[in-house]
Amino acid sequence: MACTEAYKEHIMYSFNGFCKVVIRYAAINAWRDRNRRRQKEISFEYLTEEKFYPLSTSDEFLKSPYEQYPVTICGQTIILTNGELAAALLSLPEKKREIIYLYFFGNYTQQEIADLYGHCKSTAWHYIHSALQMLQKEMEGFSHGEY
């Protein structure tokens, strides 16, 4: 079927009309979205005039120096700045504390820890992993206020 010139012109006008309708409703939707957003917004001038809300806060964290919690493990005293971590470490059994100290503070490898305790590397990894799980449970207990 051959398209006549009049039919092509009709298609062009129809498409132009369709585009105008789409653009019109897109503009209406954008205007409505902007009005909804504007109704929910509160200006800073209103906040500072009606009620005094400080626009900035100061951290208590920065005011006072860190509290220090000394913990002695393997004859070495380490200073921690997190009281919950110090308490959780002290609540672990001695062997678990030593393993965490050796791995994280002493920078021992799993193989070196295994050699120290006379086990294989996978057993040392298991000890480290179980010590971390126990430490995590203790820390969760402190954060939930159970202790």
Same domain, 131 and 93: yes
Is 46 inside a domain boundary? yes
The predicted model gives 54-82 an average pLDDT of 73
Same domain, 76 and 124: yes
Same domain, 67 and 135: yes
* Mean pLDDT taken over the chain: 84
Instruction: Give residue 111's pLDDT band: very low, low, confident or very high (50, 70, 90).
Output: very high
The predicted model gives 95-99 an average pLDDT of 91
Q: For the packed helices 110-117 and 121-143, what is the interaxial angle rounded to 10 degrees?
A: 100
Instruction: Give residue 29's pLDDT band: very low, low, confident or very high (50, 70, 90).
Output: very high
Is 139 inside a domain boundary? yes
Per-residue b/e over 6-44, b at no fewer than 16 CB within 10 Å?
A: eeeeeeeeeeeeeeeeeeeeeeeeeeeeeeeeeeeeeee
Distances in Å between the alpha carbon of 95 and those of 14, 78, 110, 127?
82, 17, 15, 9
Is 81 inside a domain boundary? yes
Same domain, 66 and 133: yes
More confident residue, 14 or 44: 14
